[in-house]
Amino acid sequence: MRFNSTPDVPRHDRTLVWLRRDLRLRDNVALAAAAESSERVCVAFVLDPDLLASERMGAPLVQTFFSAVGALRAELRERASDLALLEGDPAPQLLALAARVGATAVAFNRDYEPGAIARDDRVTRALAAAGLEVRSFLDHVCFDAGEIVAQNGAPYRIFTPFARRWRDRYRVAPPLPVPSLELLDGKLLARERIGATREVPEPEAYGFASSPDYPAASEAIAARLLERFTAPGGGIEAYADHRDLPALDGTSHLSPQLRAGTIGIRTCFARAFAAREAQTWTTELIWREFYQTILARFPHVATGPFQDAARAIAWRDDDAGFAAWCEGRTGFPIVDAAMRQLNRYGWMHNRLRMIVASFLTKDLLISWQRGERYFERRLADADLAQNNGGWQWAASTGTDAVPYFRIFNPTTQGARFDPDGAFVRAMIPELDTPAYPAPIVDHAAARTRAIAAFASALGKNARQE
């Protein structure tokens, strides 16, 4: 991989690498590029109080990120360097750090979220105005949003042709992991030269409650998860059969690590394509690429439906129903068990995410945006592109080629994917007692109501799955 720099002839004496959702030393494009083009590299992370105060920020994500920040700092200190941990508006914070350590350049990896794009543009202008060279790099996905396009150059709106073109492109020129760690030898700025910066905070410092049940993130954790999953005899070999069964530990559990960036996506794809029986898991990773591309090419999805006609859907204002859904007391065991998993662990099995999203948007006819926001505040892997794409898929408002609505029957979904009730009983100990509530809605009647509401807005038919 080239970084637009000349090997063996550093262009800068010192470069700052501004980390955000890429909290790792290995397979990090911006970090590798900085190490290749500089004599010394200073790694920085900026805590943004405004971002942490956002209504879209939740305790699981904050705790997971802070654990990744702490792990990264520890590894850098083992290498006689440090993570420059700053707090405040990124532009003045980075400018002050650059002046203190004598850096003349800043490198970072690009983010596709609209708010991040606006922030990065603002910060880039401020740094450039002060005379710093600023370079950004593709790291979060394998291919940029403009690379996987149709023959006419238009972005794909449907997953299947996107995935086909993506696989064709990968076969020709796979974006392999970059050798960040090797390039860093002798390049990391000494800890004493960086000076003292703030300590890694606890979530409580920003008003979030910690929990021992939320996932931790680090490069070491991510590497262990990937090795366990992709090694011979690992979960990837049975993934196609086990991935929809929440009672089994059949998924990679890498989503919080990918969200914090403690593992590179190129590393995941390289291991996936090298493993046996990896087709299904690689498809799931390509879905991640697809939703990131959708957000980049159609940023309006961040605030509204992908399909303009879906704005006319007559959602219900049902606060009591929404509260019952949030708290896992709808009277539908698979829905309630899933929500309790989310509320306790900051994570939910992917099949369950589809089931609870369908229940909220179809059975209760409550807007997908309320569910999306709730997930954002409860998931350790909360990612705008993935979360939004999943919710809009379930709500029939997003990218979708098929002319019908997906309406899951929560009872049959539970019988199919938790046939012996092991997962439900683990999450709902009071299931067989009078304390467990009766269903808050009749599914058949709710299905009829949903079909009428969606047909009025979109003019489509529905089918049961």
- Mind telling me the catalytic residues? 284, 287, 315, 350, 368, 391
Helix (H, G, I), strand (E, B) or coil at 41: strand
DSSP, res 149: B
Inter-CA distances, 315 with 42, 300, 365, 405, Å: 50, 19, 6, 15
Q: Which pair of structure tokens corresponds to residue 99?
A: 């002046």
Helix (H, G, I), strand (E, B) or coil at 253: coil
Residue 465 to residue 327: CA distance in whole angstroms: 25
Residue 93 to residue 256: CA distance in whole angstroms: 27
Radius of gyration of the chain, Cα coordinates, nearest whole angstrom: 23
Inter-CA distances, 198 with 46, 54, 73, 84, 398, Å: 10, 22, 11, 8, 42
Buried b (16+ CB within 10 A) or exposed e, 31-49: bbbbbbbbebbbbbbbbbe
CB 312 within 8 Å of CB 192 = no
CA atoms within a 13 Å half-sphere pointing along the CA-CB vector of 158: 8
